[in-house]
Structure 1
Amino acid sequence: MLHTVAIRGYRSMREVVVPLTGLTIVTGANGTGKSSVYRALKLLADCGRGEVIGSLAREGGLESVLWAGPESTGGARRTGTTQGTTRVRPVALELGFASDDFGYLIDLGLPQFAGPGSFFARDPEIKREMVFAGPRLRPSASLVRRIGEYAEVADDSGGGFTELTRALPVYRSVLAEYALPELAAVRDRLRDWRFYDGFRVDSDAPARTPRVGTRTPVLSDDGGDLAAAVQTIVEAGSDDLPRAVADAFDGAEVSVAVHDGIFELQLHQRGMLRPLRAAELSDGTLRFLLWAAALSSPRPPSLVVLNEPETSLHPDLLAPLATMIRVASAGSQVVVVTHSRAMREHLDSEDSSEIELTKEWGETRVVDQTMLTAPPWDWGKR
């Protein structure tokens, strides 16, 4: 299980260290940085897929996502005026996590030289990567470390490091280049994380269109394979989804019709002479079924992150949705980003924790967190 996620230099997050539990609710007013937590976790996952450079490019490039305030906000808090200061650290976007077994840190910075005539002079460079054991980065806990193009791995004696390479491209993660057990463990974990940021439910939404079905243990991001995912859940023997649908829609039942290999979702409701096809469902009903399929996966991930799942749902659907989230948290670690008070109340339990974000002088901070109460974390140096 993840214990800590650390973010430094990303959007409004000058430096934030977030503690995580089995079910973590991230809340706060609009503009406090909730979506940035979601995006930062996605960037970490992209490191495992070797896609973090491309993901940053789609956000406008590294310079567009970097913290735009002063390196330290102490002066602004004392004087009431924000002014630039002399930098002590290099310009960087740093992300990391710590879990029961392994931790990981990546440090991305501005490019030095992409090559003569290169069109990729704005691509960020990977300055550092660290894989470590335990809750924080320490020299004695380091397992793999990479500085620029140089990478090394801790040797079996525990007293030194063995060189891996001196020519690792600065745009390639060490996770994607080597098959060492430590790297494979971190890479596989990051690739296993799942993210759901709402679903399209308009008339042309992928979930409304019948399509060829194959066994689908993981619902896609756009929900286009909803019918196949529902059938996979049903054949796996789970009753979580049918129970949630019946609870939400007064005893309704969901099924899948198949014609020449084309799968189409159907909802059977009391008082109706025929089932309703996905194309006929209301937006809220379809969105609820999409969340139900995402949360009832027969192959639960180590981490699933949900961004404002309550959006466009009737208040009566929040309780059954929260029940599904709590059930899912028994098999996966779950992070829910929400500003809905009702959703927070429905999710509140002995096994959940709430992280409230606020913004002071443009900087995202965790409410009531101090240096003494923040999780232990060490960024190290380039």
Structure 2
Amino acid sequence: MNQPLLRFIVTKNYKNLSLEQIVRLKNLNIFIGSNGSGKSNFISCLKFLKDSLTKIPDESRAVSSFEDAVAQIGGNRILDVSVESPARVRLAYCFSFSQNSQTNIPARDSGILDLKIFVNRDNARGVNIAEECLYSGDILHDSTPSTPFYYYKFHDREFGKGAVSVYDEPGQFSTTHFEALDNILTNFLGLTAIPRLLEDSQYPPENTPVYRIRRDLIELVSKWQFYNANNMDLNLIRMAEPKIGGSDIYLSLSGDNLPLVLDNLIQQDIDFEESINQAMKAILPKSRRLRPIRSGRLSLTVEWYFHDIKEAFYLNEMSDGTVRMLCWATILNSPVLPSLLVIDEPELGLHVSWMPILAEWIKKAARKTQVIITTHSPDLLDYFTDCLESVFCFYSEDKTHFSIKTLSKEMLNDKLEEGWQLGDLYRVGDPSIGGWPW
């Protein structure tokens, strides 16, 4: 992967997270910071976008996917407590876009989905889209002297109305103009509604630049995967026997489909079985072979063989840490990685001797896709000393709001030359690293 697919996020008035200054993400991103410093809020911005774009609305509750996604991250409490209500919360996401060789319209290498969400604290359902647009470039349009190319603008002049860029001539991809659209709902993300809006208009979808970009963007975001070590249900993983035939290639949030994922990945990639077994030998040298097997006629389980022991072991006989490491090995060594992989505190419950192994798996995955890891572990951080530019520290601006700074070798060169590792500096609360609540 040459460049990260998600370049940066900008927020304004969103909880305690102050990200108005652009901080560029990389393929590997290690987040550190004290509890309550905004790491989870950053990740909730990503979950919100995925849920808004990909979840099917619950018609029985008359709740849109956007409304449900907002409710999941706090509803009307997403507004910064220091900001007077009602107000607008801004969330802007910059992505890498592939260049369309058929078009001469510039700056197609990246684009920004810019949302302004109206929030009223006095109304439990007082959250709506106040403004939404998708435009080209990798800098925010209010800070650049040039005018970006807009794929669409919704609600910017009047609620329920907007405009979409349309090619001047069907089949000609050189110049565009704006055409008006009406009946744009404020409780749906406009990006999801574009097919319906274009079907009701006189403009064929394929005659709009947004048509292909929208498809690519939703496909990208739909493949984001989020994991939290606290949500891994070890008892459920040990006892689960998922049914044969499911198409799962990503581990579920609880991990209960582990045998099925292992089986599908082995069937899909001839080298994966050897890869996962090598990973297990790294943490348990006596490990001989691990494999998913049929349990009864229609279910799967995992059996595990060790050198000098004839009988197989099963997951319900393995330690918590071993089961956790098997989950991370399955996720990070998978031949089918998500477009963005987010893992909260993967070090939980693991022996310190496994930290270099876990760190290597993370680095290996980041060479193939974009990875975000949050951690409080100095033992794990030690093994990212060689990639300081990938470490992002969430720090307090005014004891209430938090921003992000990136580390660099220049900042820490003197201490590194003395033999300090990144985790050492984190342990002692070195102010150049941050991550401590004081």
The interval holding the TM-score normalised by the smaller chain is 0.7 to 0.9
For 1:126-145, what aligned pairs fall within 5 Å after superposition? 126-138=129-141, 139-145=147-153
In the superposition, relative to structure 1, how do residues 43 and 18 fare at CA in structure 2: closer, same or farther (>3 Å)?
Answer: farther
In structure 1, the residue corresponding to 2:311 is in which secondary structure? coil
In structure 2, the residue corresponding to 1:365 is in which secondary structure? strand
The yes-or-no answer on 1:264 pairing with 2:301 is yes
CA distance in 2, matches of 1:154, 1:112: 35
Encode CA deviations 1:322-360: one digit per residue, 9 max, x unaligned: 111111112111111112122222234459611101123
Q: Which amino acid aligns with 1:266?
A: E
**Which stretches of structure 1, 4 residues or more, deviate above 6 A after TM superposition?**
none
CA distance in 1, matches of 2:117, 2:387: 38
The yes-or-no answer on 1:210 pairing with 2:245 is no
CA distance in 2, matches of 1:326, 1:59: 29
The yes-or-no answer on 1:312 pairing with 2:320 is no
The yes-or-no answer on 1:54 pairing with 2:68 is yes
Match of 1:151 among 155, 162, 167: 162
Match of 1:362 among 393, 400, 409: 400
Contact kept, 8 Å, 1:22 with 1:352, in 2: the verdict is no
- 1:83 maps to what in 2? none
CA distance in 1, matches of 2:86, 2:212: 31
The yes-or-no answer on 1:172 pairing with 2:191 is no
CA distance in 2, matches of 1:100, 1:233: 28
More helix by share: 2
How far did 1:206 drift?
A: 4.2
CA distance in 1, matches of 2:43, 2:292: 32
In the superposition, relative to structure 1, how do residues 241 and 169 fare at CA in structure 2: closer, same or farther (>3 Å)?
Answer: same
Contact kept, 8 Å, 2:23 with 2:405, in 1: the verdict is no
CA distance in 1, matches of 2:300, 2:384: 33
In the superposition, relative to structure 1, how do residues 143 and 265 fare at CA in structure 2: closer, same or farther (>3 Å)?
Answer: same
How far did 1:59 drift?
A: 3.9
TM value normalised by structure 1:
0.82
For 1:8-27, what aligned pairs fall within 5 Å after superposition? 8-16=12-20, 17-27=22-32
The yes-or-no answer on 1:106 pairing with 2:115 is yes
In the superposition, relative to structure 1, how do residues 200 and 125 fare at CA in structure 2: closer, same or farther (>3 Å)?
Answer: closer
The yes-or-no answer on 1:250 pairing with 2:285 is yes
Match of 2:381 among 344, 359, 369: 344
CA distance in 1, matches of 2:259, 2:14: 38
Encode CA deviations 1:37-74: one digit per residue, 9 max, x unaligned: 12122112223225342132234422x2221125xxxx
Q: Which amino acid aligns with 1:107?
A: K
Contact kept, 8 Å, 1:57 with 1:123, in 2: the verdict is no
For 1:265-304, what aligned pairs fall within 5 Å after superposition? 265-304=302-341
- 1:69 maps to what in 2? 82
In structure 2, the residue corresponding to 1:178 is in which secondary structure? helix
The yes-or-no answer on 1:2 pairing with 2:10 is no
How far did 1:243 drift?
A: 1.8
CA distance in 2, matches of 1:128, 1:192: 26
Q: Which amino acid aligns with 1:191?
A: S
- Say which is worse superposed, 332-341 or 100-109, in terms of deviation: 100-109
Q: Which has the higher contact order (CA 8 A, sep 6+)?
A: 1
CA distance in 2, matches of 1:347, 1:241: 23
Contact kept, 8 Å, 2:87 with 2:119, in 1: the verdict is yes
In the superposition, relative to structure 1, how do residues 200 and 187 fare at CA in structure 2: closer, same or farther (>3 Å)?
Answer: closer
The yes-or-no answer on 1:182 pairing with 2:182 is no
In the superposition, relative to structure 1, how do residues 241 and 320 fare at CA in structure 2: closer, same or farther (>3 Å)?
Answer: same
Match of 2:228 among 197, 201, 226: 197
The yes-or-no answer on 1:330 pairing with 2:353 is no
CA RMSD of aligned residues (A): 2.6
In structure 2, the residue corresponding to 1:128 is in which secondary structure? strand
Question: Tell me, which stretches of 5 or more residues in structure 1 are unaligned?
Answer: 71-86, 114-119, 370-382
- Say which is worse superposed, 148-157 or 198-207, in terms of deviation: 198-207
TM value normalised by structure 2:
0.72
- 2:262 maps to what in 1? 230
- Say which is worse superposed, 121-130 or 25-34, in terms of deviation: 121-130
Instruction: Report how many aligned residue pairs link the two structures.
Output: 344
CA distance in 1, matches of 2:140, 2:191: 17
Q: Which amino acid aligns with 2:166?
A: D
Q: Percent of aligned pairs with the same residue?
A: 21
How far did 1:216 drift?
A: 2.5
Contact kept, 8 Å, 1:195 with 1:306, in 2: the verdict is yes
How far did 1:140 drift?
A: 2.5
In the superposition, relative to structure 1, how do residues 132 and 241 fare at CA in structure 2: closer, same or farther (>3 Å)?
Answer: farther
